[in-house]
Amino acid sequence: MKIITKISESRDEINVFRCVGKRIGFVPTMGYLHEGHLSLVKKCREENDIVVVSIFVNPTQFGAGEDFERYPKDLKKDAALLQGAGVDFLFTPSVEEMYPEGFSTAISVSGISDGLCGSSRPGHFDGVALVVTKLLNIIMPHKAYFGMKDYQQLQVIKRFVADLNMNTKIIGMPIIRETDGLALSSRNIYLNADERKSALCLSRSFAFVYEALEGGETEVSEVKTIVENFIKDHPHTRIDYVQFVDPETLKPVKDLTKDFLLALAVYVGKARLIDNNIFKVM
Ligand code: AMP
Protein backbone atom coordinates (compact mmCIF):
# COMPACT_ATOMS: atom_id res chain seq x y z
CA MET A 1 0.00 0.00 0.00
CA LYS A 2 1.35 3.40 -0.95
CA ILE A 3 0.63 6.39 1.30
CA ILE A 4 0.11 9.64 -0.61
CA THR A 5 -0.25 13.10 0.91
CA LYS A 6 -0.12 15.33 -2.19
CA ILE A 7 -2.96 15.84 -4.69
CA SER A 8 -0.56 16.00 -7.66
CA GLU A 9 1.04 12.71 -6.66
CA SER A 10 -2.33 10.98 -6.25
CA ARG A 11 -3.24 12.10 -9.78
CA ASP A 12 0.03 10.78 -11.24
CA GLU A 13 -0.17 7.44 -9.44
CA ILE A 14 -3.86 6.65 -9.93
CA ASN A 15 -4.24 7.98 -13.48
CA VAL A 16 -1.76 5.40 -14.71
CA PHE A 17 -4.19 2.65 -13.75
CA ARG A 18 -7.27 4.41 -15.10
CA CYS A 19 -5.57 4.94 -18.45
CA VAL A 20 -4.98 1.21 -18.87
CA GLY A 21 -8.64 0.45 -18.13
CA LYS A 22 -8.42 -0.52 -14.45
CA ARG A 23 -11.50 0.07 -12.32
CA ILE A 24 -10.84 2.49 -9.46
CA GLY A 25 -12.82 2.14 -6.21
CA PHE A 26 -12.74 4.73 -3.43
CA VAL A 27 -13.67 4.82 0.26
CA PRO A 28 -13.49 8.28 1.91
CA THR A 29 -13.12 8.28 5.71
CA MET A 30 -12.07 10.47 8.62
CA GLY A 31 -9.92 7.66 10.05
CA TYR A 32 -9.87 5.94 13.44
CA LEU A 33 -11.10 2.98 11.50
CA HIS A 34 -13.42 0.21 12.66
CA GLU A 35 -15.25 -2.74 11.10
CA GLY A 36 -17.86 -0.38 9.61
CA HIS A 37 -15.19 1.35 7.53
CA LEU A 38 -13.56 -1.99 6.74
CA SER A 39 -16.86 -3.39 5.40
CA LEU A 40 -16.80 -0.60 2.78
CA VAL A 41 -13.17 -1.36 1.98
CA LYS A 42 -13.94 -5.07 1.61
CA LYS A 43 -16.77 -4.40 -0.84
CA CYS A 44 -14.58 -1.93 -2.71
CA ARG A 45 -11.79 -4.54 -2.91
CA GLU A 46 -14.24 -7.11 -4.33
CA GLU A 47 -15.63 -4.80 -7.00
CA ASN A 48 -12.57 -2.90 -8.26
CA ASP A 49 -9.01 -3.38 -9.54
CA ILE A 50 -7.50 -0.52 -7.55
CA VAL A 51 -8.69 0.46 -4.07
CA VAL A 52 -8.09 3.97 -2.75
CA VAL A 53 -9.00 4.99 0.82
CA SER A 54 -8.73 8.55 2.11
CA ILE A 55 -8.29 9.65 5.70
CA PHE A 56 -9.02 13.33 6.14
CA VAL A 57 -10.70 14.99 9.10
CA ASN A 58 -12.45 17.72 7.16
CA PRO A 59 -12.62 21.01 9.11
CA THR A 60 -15.37 22.49 6.91
CA GLN A 61 -17.96 19.95 8.05
CA PHE A 62 -17.50 20.70 11.76
CA GLY A 63 -19.35 23.55 13.42
CA ALA A 64 -18.07 25.81 16.19
CA GLY A 65 -17.88 23.90 19.48
CA GLU A 66 -17.96 20.49 17.76
CA ASP A 67 -15.21 17.89 18.11
CA PHE A 68 -12.89 18.78 15.20
CA GLU A 69 -9.92 19.45 17.51
CA ARG A 70 -10.36 16.27 19.53
CA TYR A 71 -11.56 13.92 16.77
CA PRO A 72 -9.75 10.59 17.47
CA LYS A 73 -6.71 9.75 15.32
CA ASP A 74 -4.43 6.73 14.96
CA LEU A 75 -2.86 6.82 11.53
CA LYS A 76 -0.37 4.03 12.25
CA LYS A 77 -3.09 1.57 13.26
CA ASP A 78 -5.36 2.69 10.40
CA ALA A 79 -2.58 2.18 7.85
CA ALA A 80 -1.92 -1.33 9.18
CA LEU A 81 -5.64 -2.22 8.96
CA LEU A 82 -5.87 -0.89 5.40
CA GLN A 83 -2.70 -2.69 4.35
CA GLY A 84 -4.23 -5.90 5.73
CA ALA A 85 -7.44 -5.23 3.79
CA GLY A 86 -5.56 -5.11 0.50
CA VAL A 87 -5.79 -1.35 -0.11
CA ASP A 88 -3.54 -0.01 -2.88
CA PHE A 89 -3.42 3.69 -2.01
CA LEU A 90 -4.04 5.60 1.21
CA PHE A 91 -4.58 9.30 0.54
CA THR A 92 -4.04 11.45 3.65
CA PRO A 93 -3.77 15.10 2.63
CA SER A 94 -3.16 17.93 5.11
CA VAL A 95 -5.75 20.65 5.67
CA GLU A 96 -3.45 23.09 3.80
CA GLU A 97 -3.24 20.73 0.83
CA MET A 98 -7.04 20.53 0.59
CA TYR A 99 -7.80 24.16 1.48
CA PRO A 100 -4.83 26.31 0.44
CA GLU A 101 -4.77 30.05 1.02
CA GLY A 102 -7.29 31.77 -1.22
CA PHE A 103 -9.73 28.87 -1.25
CA SER A 104 -13.16 30.46 -1.83
CA THR A 105 -15.65 27.94 -3.17
CA ALA A 106 -18.75 26.59 -1.44
CA ILE A 107 -21.20 23.88 -2.42
CA SER A 108 -24.69 23.79 -1.02
CA VAL A 109 -27.33 21.11 -1.55
CA SER A 110 -30.81 22.30 -0.67
CA GLY A 111 -33.86 20.25 0.30
CA ILE A 112 -32.42 16.88 1.23
CA SER A 113 -29.86 18.49 3.58
CA ASP A 114 -32.32 20.82 5.33
CA GLY A 115 -33.80 18.57 8.06
CA LEU A 116 -32.37 16.03 10.54
CA CYS A 117 -28.60 16.61 11.00
CA GLY A 118 -28.84 19.56 8.60
CA SER A 119 -30.96 21.49 11.13
CA SER A 120 -28.90 20.51 14.16
CA ARG A 121 -25.55 21.08 12.45
CA PRO A 122 -25.93 24.14 10.18
CA GLY A 123 -23.40 24.08 7.35
CA HIS A 124 -22.41 20.48 8.03
CA PHE A 125 -23.63 19.11 4.69
CA ASP A 126 -22.12 22.05 2.78
CA GLY A 127 -18.79 20.93 4.24
CA VAL A 128 -19.48 17.30 3.36
CA ALA A 129 -20.52 18.21 -0.20
CA LEU A 130 -17.40 20.33 -0.63
CA VAL A 131 -14.92 17.75 0.59
CA VAL A 132 -16.54 14.80 -1.18
CA THR A 133 -16.67 16.78 -4.45
CA LYS A 134 -12.99 17.61 -4.07
CA LEU A 135 -12.06 14.02 -3.24
CA LEU A 136 -14.06 12.62 -6.16
CA ASN A 137 -12.41 15.17 -8.48
CA ILE A 138 -8.97 14.23 -7.18
CA ILE A 139 -9.35 10.43 -7.23
CA MET A 140 -11.90 10.21 -10.08
CA PRO A 141 -13.12 6.77 -9.01
CA HIS A 142 -15.55 4.61 -10.97
CA LYS A 143 -17.29 3.74 -7.70
CA ALA A 144 -17.29 5.28 -4.21
CA TYR A 145 -18.62 3.57 -1.08
CA PHE A 146 -20.51 5.19 1.81
CA GLY A 147 -22.26 3.77 4.89
CA MET A 148 -25.99 3.98 5.53
CA LYS A 149 -25.07 4.79 9.13
CA ASP A 150 -24.82 8.36 7.79
CA TYR A 151 -28.04 7.96 5.85
CA GLN A 152 -28.68 11.63 5.17
CA GLN A 153 -25.07 12.13 4.09
CA LEU A 154 -25.46 9.29 1.58
CA GLN A 155 -28.62 10.88 0.14
CA VAL A 156 -26.96 14.31 -0.05
CA ILE A 157 -23.96 12.83 -1.87
CA LYS A 158 -26.19 10.93 -4.33
CA ARG A 159 -28.04 14.20 -4.99
CA PHE A 160 -25.05 16.41 -5.86
CA VAL A 161 -23.25 13.64 -7.77
CA ALA A 162 -26.35 13.38 -9.99
CA ASP A 163 -26.92 17.16 -10.15
CA LEU A 164 -23.30 17.91 -11.08
CA ASN A 165 -23.03 14.98 -13.54
CA MET A 166 -20.09 13.53 -11.66
CA ASN A 167 -18.87 10.32 -13.20
CA THR A 168 -18.80 8.13 -10.07
CA LYS A 169 -21.31 5.49 -9.01
CA ILE A 170 -22.26 5.97 -5.36
CA ILE A 171 -22.75 2.73 -3.43
CA GLY A 172 -24.59 2.68 -0.08
CA MET A 173 -23.57 -0.02 2.40
CA PRO A 174 -25.44 -1.44 5.44
CA ILE A 175 -24.75 -0.37 9.02
CA ILE A 176 -22.25 -2.54 10.88
CA ARG A 177 -23.06 -2.99 14.57
CA GLU A 178 -21.46 -4.39 17.72
CA THR A 179 -22.99 -7.73 18.75
CA ASP A 180 -25.24 -5.90 21.24
CA GLY A 181 -26.58 -3.60 18.52
CA LEU A 182 -24.59 -0.38 18.97
CA ALA A 183 -23.72 1.04 15.53
CA LEU A 184 -19.94 1.21 15.14
CA SER A 185 -18.65 4.77 15.17
CA SER A 186 -15.26 6.41 15.68
CA ARG A 187 -17.04 8.59 18.26
CA ASN A 188 -17.93 5.58 20.47
CA ILE A 189 -14.43 6.06 21.95
CA TYR A 190 -15.84 9.13 23.78
CA LEU A 191 -18.19 6.89 25.84
CA ASN A 192 -17.28 5.75 29.36
CA ALA A 193 -18.60 2.40 30.64
CA ASP A 194 -21.94 3.81 31.90
CA GLU A 195 -22.51 5.86 28.77
CA ARG A 196 -21.67 2.83 26.62
CA LYS A 197 -24.58 0.99 28.32
CA SER A 198 -26.94 3.92 27.78
CA ALA A 199 -25.89 4.19 24.12
CA LEU A 200 -27.74 0.96 23.44
CA CYS A 201 -31.01 2.89 23.72
CA LEU A 202 -30.66 4.06 20.11
CA SER A 203 -30.67 0.65 18.42
CA ARG A 204 -32.90 -0.93 21.08
CA SER A 205 -35.61 1.63 20.43
CA PHE A 206 -36.20 0.03 17.01
CA ALA A 207 -37.82 -2.99 18.69
CA PHE A 208 -40.53 -0.73 20.15
CA VAL A 209 -41.33 0.59 16.70
CA TYR A 210 -41.66 -2.94 15.30
CA GLU A 211 -43.88 -3.83 18.24
CA ALA A 212 -46.12 -0.79 17.72
CA LEU A 213 -46.42 -1.52 13.99
CA GLU A 214 -47.34 -5.14 14.71
CA GLY A 215 -50.01 -3.83 17.08
CA GLY A 216 -51.48 -1.84 14.18
CA GLU A 217 -50.27 1.59 15.32
CA THR A 218 -50.04 4.14 12.50
CA GLU A 219 -49.80 7.45 14.43
CA VAL A 220 -46.33 9.02 14.25
CA SER A 221 -46.83 10.98 17.48
CA GLU A 222 -47.71 7.83 19.48
CA VAL A 223 -44.64 5.88 18.36
CA LYS A 224 -42.41 8.94 18.64
CA THR A 225 -43.42 9.36 22.29
CA ILE A 226 -42.65 5.70 23.00
CA VAL A 227 -39.17 6.03 21.47
CA GLU A 228 -38.45 9.36 23.17
CA ASN A 229 -39.53 8.09 26.58
CA PHE A 230 -37.44 4.96 26.18
CA ILE A 231 -34.35 7.03 25.33
CA LYS A 232 -34.99 9.52 28.14
CA ASP A 233 -35.11 6.64 30.65
CA HIS A 234 -31.39 6.09 30.02
CA PRO A 235 -28.91 8.14 32.08
CA HIS A 236 -26.50 10.57 30.34
CA THR A 237 -28.76 10.89 27.26
CA ARG A 238 -30.09 14.03 25.62
CA ILE A 239 -32.21 13.76 22.48
CA ASP A 240 -31.21 15.90 19.51
CA TYR A 241 -33.93 14.47 17.26
CA VAL A 242 -36.23 11.48 16.80
CA GLN A 243 -37.69 11.73 13.30
CA PHE A 244 -39.89 9.51 11.16
CA VAL A 245 -39.16 10.41 7.54
CA ASP A 246 -39.62 9.26 3.97
CA PRO A 247 -36.51 7.20 3.07
CA GLU A 248 -36.14 9.01 -0.28
CA THR A 249 -37.03 12.65 0.42
CA LEU A 250 -36.23 12.66 4.18
CA LYS A 251 -39.38 14.73 4.71
CA PRO A 252 -41.40 13.83 7.84
CA VAL A 253 -44.07 11.19 7.17
CA LYS A 254 -47.68 11.93 8.13
CA ASP A 255 -48.41 8.40 9.30
CA LEU A 256 -46.78 4.97 9.43
CA THR A 257 -48.72 3.31 6.61
CA LYS A 258 -45.81 3.34 4.10
CA ASP A 259 -42.11 2.44 4.38
CA PHE A 260 -40.30 4.96 6.57
CA LEU A 261 -36.92 5.72 8.10
CA LEU A 262 -36.55 6.30 11.82
CA ALA A 263 -33.55 8.61 12.21
CA LEU A 264 -32.08 9.29 15.65
CA ALA A 265 -29.48 11.69 16.97
CA VAL A 266 -28.81 11.46 20.70
CA TYR A 267 -26.08 12.92 22.87
CA VAL A 268 -24.75 10.28 25.23
CA GLY A 269 -22.36 12.09 27.56
CA LYS A 270 -20.25 14.22 25.21
CA ALA A 271 -20.72 11.95 22.21
CA ARG A 272 -23.37 12.81 19.63
CA LEU A 273 -24.48 9.45 18.25
CA ILE A 274 -26.66 8.84 15.22
CA ASP A 275 -28.48 5.71 14.10
CA ASN A 276 -31.33 4.83 11.78
CA ASN A 277 -33.45 1.99 10.52
CA ILE A 278 -35.75 1.56 7.54
CA PHE A 279 -39.11 0.03 8.49
CA LYS A 280 -40.93 -1.84 5.74
CA VAL A 281 -44.69 -1.51 6.02
CA MET A 282 -46.68 -4.19 4.20
P1 AMP B 1 -16.38 8.56 8.86
O2 AMP B 1 -14.94 8.14 9.05
O3 AMP B 1 -17.17 8.60 10.11
O4 AMP B 1 -16.49 9.82 8.03
O5 AMP B 1 -17.05 7.42 7.97
C6 AMP B 1 -16.53 7.06 6.72
C7 AMP B 1 -17.52 6.18 6.03
O8 AMP B 1 -17.76 5.00 6.82
C9 AMP B 1 -18.89 6.85 5.84
O10 AMP B 1 -19.39 6.52 4.57
C11 AMP B 1 -19.71 6.24 6.95
O12 AMP B 1 -21.11 6.21 6.67
C13 AMP B 1 -19.15 4.83 6.99
N14 AMP B 1 -19.45 4.21 8.29
C15 AMP B 1 -19.21 4.72 9.53
N16 AMP B 1 -19.68 3.89 10.48
C17 AMP B 1 -20.25 2.84 9.84
C18 AMP B 1 -20.93 1.67 10.26
N19 AMP B 1 -21.12 1.39 11.55
N20 AMP B 1 -21.39 0.82 9.32
C21 AMP B 1 -21.21 1.09 7.99
N22 AMP B 1 -20.58 2.18 7.53
C23 AMP B 1 -20.12 3.04 8.43
What is the residue with the minimal CA distance to atom 22 of ligand 1? 147
Q: Positive or negative, the Cα torsion across 135, 141, 142, 144?
A: negative
40 lines ligand 1 (CB under 6 A): yes
Q: What is the mean pLDDT of the chain?
A: 98
User: Angle of helix 220-232 relative to helix 200-214, nearest 10 degrees?
Assistant: 150
198 lines ligand 1 (CB under 6 A): no
Does residue 176 contact residue 39 with C-beta atoms inside 8 Å? yes
User: For 14-47, what is each residue's pLDDT tens digit?
Assistant: 999 999 999 999 999 999 999 999 999 999 999 9
- Percent of the chain past pLDDT 70, that is, above it, reads 100
User: For 45-75, what is each residue's pLDDT tens digit?
Assistant: 999 999 999 999 999 999 999 999 999 999 9
Q: Which atom of ligand 1 is nearest to the CA of 187?
A: 3
Phi and psi dihedrals of 122, rounded to 5?
A: -55, 135
Strand partners, 272: 267
Strand partners, 271: 268
DSSP letter assigned to residue 257 = S
78 lines ligand 1 (CB under 6 A): no
DSSP-derived 3-state class of residue 266: strand
- C-alpha distance from residue 9 to each of 12, 45, 162, 166 (Å): 5, 22, 28, 22
Ligand 1 centroid – CA 216 distance (Å) = 34
User: For 219-251, what is each residue's pLDDT tens digit?
Assistant: 999 999 999 999 999 999 999 999 999 999 999
Q: Which helix (H) or strand (E) holds 244?
A: strand 237-245
176 lines ligand 1 (CB under 6 A): yes
Residues in the chain: 282
Q: Which of 27, 35, 38, 40 to mutate to test ligand 1, by most ligand atoms within 8 A of the CB atom?
A: 40
Q: In sequence order, which residues have a C-beta less than 8 Å from that of residue 222 and are 6 or more positions away? A: 212
What is the residue with the minimal CA distance to atom 8 of ligand 1? 37
In whole angstroms, give the CA distance from residue 282 to residue 275. 23
171 lines ligand 1 (CB under 6 A): no
131 lines ligand 1 (CB under 6 A): no
Nearest to 40 by CA among 91, 90, 85: 85
* Model confidence band, residue 282 (pLDDT cutoffs 50, 70, 90): confident
In whole angstroms, give the CA distance from residue 226 to residue 215. 13
- Percent of the chain past pLDDT 90, that is, above it, reads 99
In whole angstroms, give the CA distance from residue 37 to residue 34. 6
In whole angstroms, give the CA distance from residue 228 to residue 241. 9
User: For 262-273, what is each residue's pLDDT tens digit?
Assistant: 999 999 999 999
Q: Which of 136, 150, 157, 186 to mutate to test ligand 1, by most ligand atoms within 8 A of the CB atom?
A: 150
In whole angstroms, give the CA distance from residue 245 to residue 248. 8
What is the residue with the minimal CA distance to atom 6 of ligand 1? 29
**pTM for the full predicted model:** 0.98
